[in-house]
Amino acid sequence: MKIAIIKYNAGNVQSVLYALQRLGLDAAVTDKPAEIVSADRVIFPGVGNACSAMEHLRRAGLDEVIVSLRQPVLGICLGLQLLCNESEEGDTKCLGIFDVAVKKFQHEETGTGSFKIPHMGWNTINSLSSPLFAGVKENSFVYYVHSYYAELSADTIATTNYMIPFSAAMRHNNFYGVQFHSEKSAEAGIRIISNFLKLT
């Protein structure tokens, strides 16, 4: 199986590569359109700022490459957010795969300062409704580091509640996204990555 990890200025590539190695697999880290398009599976990781990430993708022509993909694609953390319509981070127009907006956590939503931003650490995923979660139990713990979240929508396939319920994972056609760091989420995360690689 040929796996491509999209190389751009916001990728958490090494931890994704390590997770794949735990599964006995390797991947090409690439920003070359031909390599990405010809891969059997594409992983779109991300840590950083949505605005600068989208600017980089557009300059490299990778925005058009990503939306054209027909094989299974997995966005991770910022990768999920960039697959949405828009982000409040820098008032950024994103790739528009998931028909939903990305919002910033606001303390005012709950009227309490007891929640820290960014949302960092382990939290549970619920309402799992995709083969991506085969063998993963409801309320499994996964690892988060984020200040922005995708709202609930018709594309939501898992939820987490931190201040408010938000999309822990999403799917539209061949595109999947997880807000948590699956590559850092212990056995549940490895199972999710393994399930992604088996999707048809």
pLDDT, tens only, 95-120: 999 999 999 998 765 555 578 999 99
Catalytic residue, from 88, 151, 183, 187: name it.
183
Catalytic residue among 84, 89, 146, 181: 181
pLDDT of residue 55: 96
Percentage of residues of the chain with pLDDT beyond 90: 90
Residue 183 is a catalytic residue: yes
pLDDT at 108: 60
Asked about 181 being catalytic, the answer comes back as yes
Q: Name which of 43-47, 87-91, 114-118, 163-167 the model is least confident about.
A: 114-118
Running DSSP on this structure, what letter comes out for residue 129?
Answer: -
84 is known as an active-site residue: no
Looking at 77, 84, 94, 119, which residue is catalytic?
A: 77
Annotated domain spans of the chain: 3-198
Q: Which helix (H) or strand (E) holds 59?
A: helix 50-60
Architecture, CATH, for domain 3-198: 3-Layer(aba) Sandwich (3.40)
Measured distance CA(197)–CA(191) in Å, rounded: 10
What is the pLDDT, as a whole number, of residue 23? 95
Return the exposure string of 32-61: e unless at least 16 CB atoms fall within 10 Å of the residue's CB, then b. Answer: eeebbeebebbbbbbbbbbeebbebbeebe
Q: What is the pLDDT of residues 45-62, one digit of tens each?
A: 999 999 999 999 999 999
Given a cut of 60, whether residue 199 has pLDDT beyond it is yes
